[in-house]
């Protein structure tokens, strides 16, 4: 059988958000490669598991391509969607600079429910109209382009989702991001959606002026409303957050 | 049993992209509401089907809320993800201006694989870094805000996905959008991803300078690369398109 790389999105956590395609491909895998916590989510099988640390994406990608070149059926697993700040781009980067023969490999990408969709569903319909998705990590891009994108997102009055908003190595960037957004946008609805769908799920309903950067951690998806985003208050219950489909200046 | 509104995303088309949660909720529904082609996708069941035409989202939303207020288990179905240019925002809009008692209803939103994720997976990893999602429909927002967002997306050097790029009523807007993008960005990779995952799927690999607006129809998801997006050529095969995780000025 010809080798194959299957780049698979496992969704935000619970089995209810794993697509049938992801499960079918995982069942065909001879090898499973990924960051430890994602590999641990794959149901038991005879596949060889190659769990690795965070931040070694390119090594992982090369390993997958080498195994597939030797005939293996390799599943590369990511949380959420593999194309959104996850393993898919790393695999194609490795292909472009790697062995010429890797271009002949069968590479399939299986989309998944990415965090911003799960977080939005959890709180209502904040994405109701146009939106931007930005990773706040400056491991691979300069902070200047992140800043430029935050400004552009406000200038376009987009709803904005921030992935990777904070980590132990980057505790302060989210405060800088909020400061830029406040300066450009004034007040906005802000939602901190932590670990949506997982046992430690926690939702904070706040605003650009009131948000506490210390409440943001690496499990958090930060959603910042557009000028139109609204909260519907409810008695004794969490509010619903939504952005009307209609936009009025 | 208390009534409930379940706002469900069916994904881009094939069963392999329908989440287990969507299937579980559909099996619990007593009533199914939606645009005809989406209602037709729901597997046979005893539920009453209320299929409607396009562009009556608010009527559909009110109908769902009324049925739920009477105790029904109402599934409101959309293609893709229900929060991305689909029914979720319409339901919350109807709640906000509707019966006070509707705020006490149980409303659950089930996320889905939205078109941009399926299209990206199909061609490689174009979303590799930050991206914007814009609906080109000006039914509910002025063209001026769409234009402002297109400009902001280029100024932030985002990858850009356009939903609803054209319809019989709006055949010319996509040409105007390409013109704006060309003026601001110069040359970029452009992918027209039509009906991804469905039998009539078709992918066009082109560029801002070469793209033919006439090739864009209502089934098309238009992807415009950032300055960094690249194609990997392959012999006798479609290229792979990706955006490197690293951004370099």
Alpha-carbon gap: A3 to the closest alpha carbon of chain B (Å):
17
Q: Say if residue A55's pLDDT is above 80.
A: no
- A242 touching chain B per CB within 8 A: yes
Looking at chain B, the whole-number percentage of residues with pLDDT higher than 90 is: 91
Answer whether B189's CB lies under 8 Å from B117's CB: no
DSSP annotation string for chain A: ---EEEEEE-BSSSGGGS-HHHHHHHHH-SEEEEEHHHHTTSPP-SSEEEEE-TT-HHHHHHHHHHHHHTT-EEEEEESB-TTSSSHHHHHHHHHHHS-GGGGGSEEEEE----HHHHHHHHHEETTSS-EEEEE---SSS-HHHHHHHHHHHHHTT-EEEEES--BTTBSSHHHHHHHHHHHHH---EEEEEESTTSTT-EEEEEETTT--GGG--TTEEEEE--TT-EEEEETTEEEEEE--SS---
* Three-state DSSP state, B73: strand
Residue A167 vs residue B114, higher pLDDT: B114
The residue with tokens 């995780």 is: B245
Confidence of residue A227 (pLDDT cuts 50, 70, 90): very high
Q: Pinpoint the residues of chain A covered by CATH 3.40.1010.10.
A: 4-113
* Three-state DSSP state, B224: strand
Alpha-carbon gap: B168 to the closest alpha carbon of chain A (Å):
21
- B148 touching chain A per CB within 8 A: yes
- Measured CA to CA in angstroms, residue B37 lies from A65, A132, B7, B56 at distances of 40, 29, 16, 14
The mean of the pLDDT values for chain B is 96
So what's the pLDDT on residue B167?
Answer: 86
Listed residue (B229, B3, B201) closest to B128, CA to CA: B229
Listed residue (A232, A187, A133) closest to A242, CA to CA: A232
Task: Say whether B20 and A16 touch across the interface (CB within 8 A).
Answer: yes
Q: In whole angstroms, how large is the CA radius of gyration of chain A?
A: 20
For residue range B205-223, what is the model confidence (pLDDT) as tens digits?
999 999 999 999 999 999 9
Residues of chain A contacting residue B152, judged by C-beta atoms under 8 Å apart: 152-153, 155-156, 158
So what's the pLDDT on residue A181?
Answer: 97
CA B221/CA B165 separation, integer angstroms = 7
Answer whether B161's CB lies under 8 Å from B222's CB: yes
- Residues A38-57 have a mean pLDDT of 93
So what's the pLDDT on residue B98?
Answer: 97
In A, minimum Cα distance to B86 occurs at A128
Complex prediction ipTM: 0.97
- A90 touching chain B per CB within 8 A: yes
Residues of chain A contacting residue B19, judged by C-beta atoms under 8 Å apart: 11, 16-19, 113
In the beta sheet, which residues pair with residue B27?
none
For residue range B5-24, what is the model confidence (pLDDT) as tens digits?
999 999 999 999 999 999 99
Task: Say whether B96 and A232 touch across the interface (CB within 8 A).
Answer: yes
Instruction: Return left, alpha or beta for B139; rule: phi > 0 is left, psi -120 to 50 is alpha, else beta.
Output: alpha
Task: Say whether B121 and A96 touch across the interface (CB within 8 A).
Answer: no
In A, minimum Cα distance to B241 occurs at A92
So what's the pLDDT on residue B169?
Answer: 86
The CATH class given to the A116-242 domain equals alpha beta
The residue with tokens 């208390």 is: B2
Long-range contacts of A211-217 (CB under 8 A, 24+ apart): A211/A178, A213/A166, A213/A172, A213/A174, A213/A175, A213/A178, A216/A165, A216/A166, A216/A174, A216/A192, A217/A166
Q: Which helix (H) or strand (E) holds B112?
A: none
Pick one of 3.10.290.10, 1.20.1250.20, 3.40.50.300, 3.40.1010.10 as the CATH number of A4-113. 3.40.1010.10
For residue range A173-215, what is the model confidence (pLDDT) as tens digits?
999 999 999 999 999 999 999 999 999 999 999 999 999 999 9
Residue A39 vs residue A2, higher pLDDT: A39
Note the helical H segments in chain B.
Answer: 20-28, 36-39, 57-69, 87-97, 115-123, 143-155, 173-185
Q: Say if residue B170's pLDDT is above 90.
A: no
Confidence of residue A129 (pLDDT cuts 50, 70, 90): confident
Size of interface A-B (CB pairs under 8 A): 251
Phi, psi at residue B92, to the nearest 5°? -70, -35
- B133 touching chain A per CB within 8 A: yes
- Other CB atoms within 10 A of residue A63 CB: 18
So what's the pLDDT on residue A171?
Answer: 84
- A180 touching chain B per CB within 8 A: no
Which A residues, 22 through 41, put their C-beta within 8 Å of a C-beta on chain B? 24
Listed residue (A93, A162, A115, A144) closest to B157, CA to CA: A144
CA dihedral A11, A15, A16, A21 (to 10 degrees): 70
CA dihedral B223, A139, A63, A43 (to 10 degrees): -80
CA dihedral A218, A221, A222, A225 (to 10 degrees): 180
Q: Pinpoint the residues of chain A covered by CATH 3.30.950.10.
A: 116-242
Contacts of B26 (CB under 8 A, 6+ apart): B8, B32, B42, B43, B45, B47, B75, B77
In B, minimum Cα distance to A8 occurs at B121
For residue range B43-64, what is the model confidence (pLDDT) as tens digits?
999 999 999 987 789 999 999 9
So what's the pLDDT on residue B159?
Answer: 98
- B121 touching chain A per CB within 8 A: yes
Answer whether B163's CB lies under 8 Å from B194's CB: no
Helix, strand and coil percent figures for chain B, each rounded to 5: 35, 30, 40
Listed residue (A94, A247, A74, A84) closest to A162, CA to CA: A84
So what's the pLDDT on residue B1?
Answer: 58
- Measured CA to CA in angstroms, residue B224 lies from A77, A112, A159 at distances of 26, 21, 19
Q: Say if residue B39's pLDDT is above 70.
A: yes
So what's the pLDDT on residue A1?
Answer: 58
The mean of the pLDDT values for chain A is 96
């Amino acid at each position: 059988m010809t080798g194959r790389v299957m780049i698979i999105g496992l969704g935000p956590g619970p089995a209810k958000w794993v697509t049938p395609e992801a499960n079918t491909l995982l069942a065909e895998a001879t090898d499973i490669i990924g960051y430890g916590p994602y590999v641990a989510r794959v149901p038991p099988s005879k596949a060889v598991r190659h769990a690795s640390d965070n931040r070694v994406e390119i090594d992982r990608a090369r390993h997958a391509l080498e195994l597939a070149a030797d005939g293996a059926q390799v599943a590369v697993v990511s949380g959420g969607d593999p194309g959104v700040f996850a393993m898919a781009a790393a695999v194609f980067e490795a292909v472009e600079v790697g062995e010429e023969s890797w271009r002949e490999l069968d590479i399939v990408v299986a989309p998944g429910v990415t965090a911003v969709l799960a977080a939005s569903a959890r709180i209502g319909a904040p994405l109701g109209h146009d939106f931007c998705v930005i990773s706040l990590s400056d491991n691979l891009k300069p902070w200047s382009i992140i800043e430029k994108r935050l400004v552009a997102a406000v200038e376009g009055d987009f709803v904005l989702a921030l992935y990777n908003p904070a980590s132990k190595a980057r505790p302060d960037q989210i405060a800088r991001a909020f400061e830029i957004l406040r300066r450009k946008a004034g007040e906005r609805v802000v939602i901190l959606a932590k670990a949506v769908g997982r046992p430690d799920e926690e939702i904070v309903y706040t605003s650009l002026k009131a948000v506490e950067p210390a409440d943001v951690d690496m499990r958090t998806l930060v959603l910042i409303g557009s000028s139109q985003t609204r909260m519907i208050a409810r008695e004794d219950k969490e509010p619903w957050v939504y952005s009307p489909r209609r936009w009025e200046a």
